[in-house]
């Protein structure tokens, strides 16, 4: 989900509606920022369950403390990301773990510079070693473009194909395990997996797309359900 | 094995955790056939490299996507655990009935660290004392709210419920920030009113800050108490003080305290609500 520009007055209006008890405004703000908060929490914790809890706690905090948000002091995006980051670090501490060693730009809020993110990380004693040089603006934009292309292609693909690709990557299930989970024949799982992969590669194109040197591959193999 | 057969095996392996490694290890007859094909086919070898890159990118992106039901679960958790809200309750938070409230004692002078500041007093005793002070404020604020609101029982209960919820938030945030290893407590003092006092705790690591004050009157119409942090002669706005019963408070992340190790000042000034200016004398301040 694409984020709005920092300091959006639209955000401020939604927060005011939320403070007046509008659950619809909360839902709109979730649609706007929920994915990004989850992604940032997952990058810090490498734990999808923990990232889910961070998202729930972040929006609960937004609901409980909506009056505290001051659009003149900063964007809602940065505010929510800071709350989410703190909750994620709390969880790591509680579990006796350290944050993942990630590129320094990764945990930065959308409107926070890499330098600010580095200063914050150093001040918080969370830098254990140097990480790779963060990507430049063009690389970062390219990566964001590719991620958006994947999300759009996922949203557009048939439900059954999306299901196998999510089980494969999010739950790291093998095709045999997916077949057992969904009570599908293994051949069906393989067919849908290949179709889904092809759709994603076609959406990405370029160096990630299907190899142009090879003949067109019949994606459909075997009898489908 | 031809290109298409090899490609099918590669695609299926690329999407399984560790699948390519298992395929290249050649543990099965079909895997051995793929390995043999790759040895003599640069196109399929290139395709393998493309697939590995693509699968890494797709996997990284998909793992960062929340489950589809998280939205509903999040809204449900807010419904179950969030503070009660509604037009009347929201108004009661911003403008507690009764106008200017009689002042304090919710945080007595004994309950805040001695001296103008108490930096570095993050020991257990100091933390317990500070949290106890907040707890006392909870009780007194609820009692005060009940008296101020008066009127119908349901209105009193709603106001009390909201006050309790707010102060639970303050207490929870205080405990959370105090538990940070770099937590710093600062006593705030009134510039001209000896009854005006406050306490502040912040963590330079997480940048979360909690400030509470007693002795502040509700601001006149069109004005508000604005918190700020001054570093190198420049004031950065933090947020406006909210009132719950006797207690004025603010909780949240403050970028200006991120990595802070002294040389800054926290203050609260009475300013025009419509303006952005912070250049007025503070009514309450302390050195960070």
Contact criterion met (CB < 8 Å) for A55 and B66: yes
A118 touching B, CB under 8 A? Answer: no
pLDDT digit string (tens) for B154-210? 666 666 666 677 777 788 888 888 888 888 888 888 888 878 888 899 999 888 899
| Share of residues in chain B with pLDDT > 70 (%) | 72
Considering chain B, what percentage of its residues have pLDDT values greater than 90?
Answer: 8
pLDDT digits (tens, 9 = 90+) for B9-54: 888 988 888 888 888 887 788 888 888 898 888 888 988 888 888 8
Q: What is the pLDDT of residue B91?
A: 36
Residues of A in contact with B252 (CB under 8 A): 65, 68-69, 79, 83
A216 touches chain B (CB under 8 A): no
d(CA B65, CA A35): 6
Write out chain B residues lying below 8 Å of A123, CB-based.
Answer: 204-205, 258-261
A25 pLDDT higher than 90: yes
pLDDT at A221: 42
Q: CA-nearest residue of chain A to B258?
A: A120
Q: Residue range B51-68: average pLDDT?
A: 88
Taking only the tens place, the pLDDT of each residue in A145-155 is: 888 888 889 98
The per-residue pLDDT of chain B, averaged, comes to 75
Is A64 touching B (CB cutoff 8 A)? Answer: yes
Residue of higher predicted confidence among B45 and A6: B45
The overall average pLDDT reported for chain A is: 78
Residue A77 — very low, low, confident or very high, per pLDDT cuts 50/70/90? very high
pLDDT of residue B220: 87
Closest CB to A166: pick one of B62, B93, B182: B62
For B90, the closest of A19, A172, A190 (CB atoms) is A19
* Confidence check: pLDDT of A28 > 90: yes
pLDDT exceeds 50 at position A223: no
Pick the range with the lowest mean pLDDT from B30-34, B80-84, B124-128, B222-226.
B124-128
Cβ separation of A20 and B12 shorter than 8 Å?
A: no
Q: Does the pLDDT value for residue B140 go beyond 70?
A: no
The Cα B278–Cα B282 span in angstroms is 9
Q: Do A56 and B77 touch (CB under 8 A)?
A: yes
Q: Which residues of A touch B16 (CB under 8 A)?
A: 168, 174-175
pTM: 0.58
* Confidence bin at A202 (pLDDT 50/70/90): confident
Find the closest chain A residue to B61 by CA distance: A147
The 3-class secondary structure across chain A, one letter per residue, is CCCCCCCCHHHHHHHHHHHCCCHHHHHHHHHHHHHHHHHHHHHHHCCHHHHHHHHHHHHHHHHHCHHHCCCCCCCHHHHHHHHHHHHHHHHHHHCCCCCCCCCCCCCCCCCCCHHHHHHHHHHCCCCCCCCCCCCCHHHHHHHHHHHHHHHHHHHHCCHHHHHHHHHHHHCCCCHHHHHHHHCCCHHHHHHHHHHHHHHHHHHHCHHHCCCCCCCCCCCCCCCCC
Whole-number pLDDT of residue A109: 52
């Amino acid at each position: 989900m694409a984020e709005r520009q920092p300091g959006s007055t639209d955000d401020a209006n939604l927060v005011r509606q939320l403070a007046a008890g509008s659950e619809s405004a909360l839902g709109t703000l979730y649609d706007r920022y929920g994915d990004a908060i989850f992604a940032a929490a997952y990058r810090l914790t490498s734990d999808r369950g923990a990232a889910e809890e961070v998202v729930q706690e972040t929006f609960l905090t937004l609901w409980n403390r909506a009056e505290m948000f001051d659009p003149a002091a900063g964007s809602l995006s940065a505010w929510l990301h800071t709350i989410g980051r703190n909750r994620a670090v709390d969880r790591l501490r509680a579990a006796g773990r350290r944050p993942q060693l990630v590129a320094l730009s990764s945990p930065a809020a959308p409107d926070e510079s890499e330098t600010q993110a580095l200063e914050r990380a150093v001040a918080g004693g969370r830098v254990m070693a140097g990480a790779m040089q963060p990507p430049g603006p063009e690389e970062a934009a390219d990566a964001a473009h590719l991620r958006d292309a994947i999300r759009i292609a996922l949203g557009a693909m048939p439900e059954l194909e999306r299901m196998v690709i999510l089980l494969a990557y999010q739950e790291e299930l093998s095709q045999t395990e997916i077949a057992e989970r969904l009570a599908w024949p293994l051949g069906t799982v393989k067919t849908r997996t290949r179709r889904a992969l092809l759709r994603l590669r076609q959406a990405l194109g370029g160096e990630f797309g299907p190899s142009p040197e090879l003949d067109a591959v019949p994606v459909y193999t075997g009898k489908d359900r | 094995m031809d290109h298409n057969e090899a490609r099918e095996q590669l695609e299926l392996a690329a999407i399984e955790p560790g699948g390519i490694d298992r395929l290249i290890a050649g543990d099965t007859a079909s895997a051995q056939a793929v390995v043999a094909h790759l040895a003599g086919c640069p196109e399929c070898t290139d395709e393998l490299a493309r697939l590995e890159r693509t699968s890494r990118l797709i996997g990284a992106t998909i793992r960062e996507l929340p489950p589809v039901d998280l939205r509903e679960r999040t809204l449900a958790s807010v419904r179950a655990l969030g503070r009660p809200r509604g037009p009347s309750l929201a108004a009661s938070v911003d403008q507690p009935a009764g106008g200017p409230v009689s002042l304090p004692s919710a945080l007595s002078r004994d309950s805040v660290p001695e001296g103008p500041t108490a930096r570095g007093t993050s020991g257990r005793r100091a933390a317990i004392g500070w949290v106890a002070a907040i707890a006392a404020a909870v009780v007194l604020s609820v009692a005060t709210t009940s008296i101020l609101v008066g009127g119908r029982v349901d209105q009193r209960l709603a106001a009390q419920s909201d006050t309790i919820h707010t102060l639970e938030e303050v207490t929870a945030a205080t405990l959370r920030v105090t538990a940070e290893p770099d937590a710093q407590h600062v006593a705030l003092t009134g510039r001209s009113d000896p009854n005006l006092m406050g306490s502040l705790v912040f963590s330079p690591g997480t940048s979360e800050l909690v400030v509470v004050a007693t002795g502040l009157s509700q601001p006149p119409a069109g004005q508000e108490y604005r918190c700020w942090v001054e570093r190198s002669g420049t004031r950065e706005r933090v947020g406006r003080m909210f009132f719950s019963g006797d207690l004025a408070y603010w909780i949240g992340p403050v970028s200006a305290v991120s990595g802070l190790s002294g040389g800054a000042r926290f203050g609260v000034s009475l300013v025009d609500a419509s303006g952005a200016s912070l250049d007025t004398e503070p009514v309450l301040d302390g050195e960070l």
